[in-house]
Amino acid sequence: MHRAIRAAAAAAGRGLSSARGASPRSPGAPAWGAIRWLCSGREALSYDVVIVGAGPAGLAAAIRLKQLCRAADADLSVCVLEKGSEVGAHVLSGNVFEPRALDELIPKWRQEDAPIRVPVSSDKFWLLTKNQAWTLPSPFDNKGNYVISLSQLVRWMATKAEELGVEVYPGFAASEILYDENQIVTGVATNDVGIAKDGTKRETFQPGVELRGRITLLAEGCRGSLSEKIIRNHKLRERGQGQHQTYAIGIKEIWEIEEGKHEPGSVIHTVGWPLDTKTYGGSFLYHLDDRQLAIGLVVALNYRNPFLSPYDEFQKFKQHPAVRKLLEGGTAVQYGARTLNEGGFQSIPYPVFPGGAIIGCSAGFLNVPKIKGTHTAMKSGMLAAEATFQALIEGSSMELYWENIKKSWIWEELRTARNYRPAFEYGFVPGMALSALERYVFKGKSPYTLKHGKPDHEATDAANRHTPIQYPKPDGQITFDVPTSLYSYFKVEVMCLPNNIFILYSNPSFLWYRSNTNHEHDQPPHLRLRDPTVPERINLPVYAGPESRYCPARVYEYVTDEKGDPKLHINAQNCLHCKACDIKDPKQNIEWTVPEGGGGPGYTVM
């Protein structure tokens, strides 16, 4: 793959100019070329703009940059790096899509075969008890929105970006931030590939590549590893709205359901059961096209009970009578999980750093009460692109990005929604009451701003304050164990023989993988323990080993060693790149880093 990026970049090369510090160019001046050169033993490629992450924010930024270039008869070279094996492979979202930002970015998208075909046809809100579903007035306004697969949408956006001249490189994980002698960010480097677990070089070894840019935009999504380093090192949280970020984990399946049960465009959100009244969260059921149903559960990661398992809560949710009857007779075809930002307005960091900016969910622009973040992520990417264009062409400052964010509808939307999520720090009933007050009385203009509670990792109680939760065993039809969700099943085919004899058989050529997750087994672990003694010394005795439950892929499990003592075992190959471990570990002892590019899940319809 590294050879591929070098060949593609060389083919696109337009000559190498001087590095950072070159004077701003006038429209029509030559751009930095995607040309190869050696730096510190690694090959280096130079661009005007390097974007990390081919999600909605990163691709919106790339498209907008090239649109501005065309309008001004200018030329800026733009590169987008994506750690997934293909664009969209790591993208997971509900998703009820608000097209506001896309209308601004590509006004004629409806005539350009965008994968946005299912308008919302009904919008329901349920309060669940164990056996009942009570209909409440819907607080959502989804008129004009669409039920989509975000992984399909970003693949379409990538083709639009490439048509404009953007170079998109999937399968490359940015693992390092590059600085110059003045500590200004000058780009990123991909990790070496072909390194064995023991640190030796395998036959397939390829050194990483440096991608240097005059401006670097980080669009890694929620809890991006490079973004978090930048936020921490430059104290961007303190320079922004000041409060810590809060998170949730979303667990999702795609089902193919029976034709008679399928209602394209139907949207249902729920609160209540199976979560307890001190745990914030809810579920969704979205009807796409082709008999597909997106079903998921979102659990806030500031939950207290260390015995709670978000994965098992999701399986339990599917057993609700109103939900199970919808799934019976259907087939689960895809599974995945991803964390999402819930801090909202109070947690927005100052998004500009020397040499670049943070955009999209890496900065945390999700609107919690709307349960939407794609439109705000895209808009932030567009605003960053406009500031980047002016910085490179006109010599202005990237501070313009922050100024324009505060003038945009993103700021107003998140400011209006700022009190919904922290209201639930007081429990489910007070949270619902305060949310109703915000929506129907103050209409987002309340004279106060609520604060978030403890950071998610500090919210976990000691195990002796709770009783272990006994989850029901999976039935293999509606509910599943983790290996079944992660790995494969055979698709049953029907064959017609002569004389109208029919047989059923499992065709290996139709082997399905629900998450498509895969990593090179012989590579250094990308899940690292800062102190290898913490799991057995603290997590297991104090918190009953919560990492074995908060991870939705069973990456972490305690096994007995040769002395009969419990030992944490890490199944890194199972990792879905959800980042829950990096967030929820009580002592912040787990560091999530990027594995070899191309590893991880392979979502197609998420």
What does the DSSP 8-state code read for residue 367?
A: B
Token couple for 26:
């006038």
**Average confidence score pLDDT of the chain:** 90
Spatial separation of the C-alpha atoms in residues 479 and 474, rounded to whole Å: 5
Strand 556-560 and strand 36-39: the pairing is: unpaired
Question: What pLDDT is attached to residue 500?
Answer: 56
Single-letter code of the amino acid located at 119:
P
Condensed to tens digits (0 to 9), the pLDDT of residues 292-344 reads 999 999 999 999 999 999 999 999 999 999 999 999 999 999 999 999 999 99
Residue 298: strand pairing partners: 250, 282
H-assigned helices in 40-138: 56-72, 100-105
79, 222, 361, 551: which one is catalytic? 551
Q: With the C-alpha atoms ordered 11, 17, 23, 26, is the resulting torsion angle positive or negative?
A: negative
Question: Has 578 been annotated as catalytic?
Answer: yes
- Contact in structure between 513 and 600 (CB atoms under 8 Å): no
**Active-site choice (223, 338, 421, 514):** 338
Q: pLDDT tens across 90-114, in order?
A: 999 999 999 999 999 999 999 999 9
Say yes or no to pLDDT of 8 above 90.
no
Interatomic CA distance for residues 9 and 213, integer angstroms: 14
| Bigger pLDDT: 198 vs 49 | 49
Distance (Å, rounded) from C-alpha 93 to C-alpha 358? Answer: 20
CA dist 318 and 295 (Å) reads 9
Query: Residue 509 pLDDT more than 50?
Result: no
Is the model's pLDDT at 502 over the cut of 60? no
Does residue 581 carry a catalytic annotation?
Answer: yes
**Tokens linked to 217:** 């935009």
Q: Per-residue pLDDT for 25 more than 80?
A: no
CA atoms within 13 A on the CB side of 450: 22
Look up residue 91 and give its two tokens: 């993208």
Q: Which of 397, 353, 411 is nearest to 177 (CA)?
A: 353
Q: Give residue 21's pLDDT band: very low, low, confident or very high (50, 70, 90).
A: very low
Share of the chain above pLDDT 70, in %: 89
Residue 385 has pLDDT above 70, yes or no: yes
List 93, 186, 225, 416, catalytic entry: 93
What integer pLDDT is reported at residue 22 of this predicted model?
Answer: 34
93 is catalytic: yes
338 carries an active-site annotation: yes
Q: Which of 335, 291, 42 is nearest to 190 (CA)?
A: 42
pLDDT at 83 over 90: yes
Q: Which residues contact 42 (CB under 8 A, 6 or more apart)?
A: 189, 207, 208, 209, 210
Detail the DSSP E strand segments found in 229-354. Answer: 247-256, 266-272, 281-287, 292-300, 331-341, 352-353
CATH 3.90.1170.50, domain 36-92+152-243+346-413, yes or no:
no
- 300 by DSSP, 3-state: which? strand
Alpha helices in 38-106 (DSSP H): 56-72, 100-105
- For the question of residue 374 being annotated catalytic, the response is yes
Let me know how long the chain is: 606
Which residue type is seen at 5?
A: I
**pLDDT digits over 235-280, tens only?**
999 998 889 999 999 999 999 999 999 999 999 999 999 999 999 9
Q: Can you give the residue ranges of every domain in the chain?
A: 36-92+152-243+346-413, 418-453, 482-592
Tell whether omega for the bond before 95 is within 30 degrees of 0, i.e. cis.
yes
Q: Residue 178 forms beta bridges with which residues? A: 187
d(CA 276, CA 258): 32
CB-CB contact of 415 with 371 (8 Å) = no
- Cα–Cα distances in Å, from 472 out to 7, 175, 234, 319? 53, 40, 47, 10
How many other C-beta atoms lie within 10 A of the C-beta of residue 180?
A: 15
Q: Which of 69, 222, 361, 575 is catalytic?
A: 575
Strands (E), 323-438: 331-341, 352-353, 356-358
Q: Is the pLDDT of residue 490 over 50?
A: no
Residues 387-445 pLDDT 10s: 999 999 999 999 999 999 999 999 999 999 999 999 999 899 999 999 989 988 998 89
553 — phi, psi (to 5°)? -125, 10
496 in active site: no
Nearest residue to 298 via CA among 318, 286, 282, 312: 282
Q: Write down the pLDDT at residue 506.
A: 44
551 is known as an active-site residue: yes
CATH no. for 482-592: 3.30.70.20
Q: Indicate whether 386 pLDDT > 50.
A: yes
Spot the catalytic one: 225, 279, 309, 374. Answer: 374
| Nearest alpha-carbon partner for 418 in 376, 448, 373, 378 | 448
The residues near 159 (Cβ < 8 Å, ≥ 6 apart) are none
Which of the following is catalytic: 79, 222, 361, 578? Answer: 578
pTM of the entire structure?
0.91
* Residues 374, 340 contacting (CB under 8 angstroms): no
Compute, in degrees rounded to 10, the torsion defined by CA atoms 81, 55, 553, 283: 170
Average pLDDT over residues 343-352: 97
- pLDDT of 33 > 70? The answer is no
The torsion angles phi and psi of 466, rounded to 5 degrees, stand at -135, 160
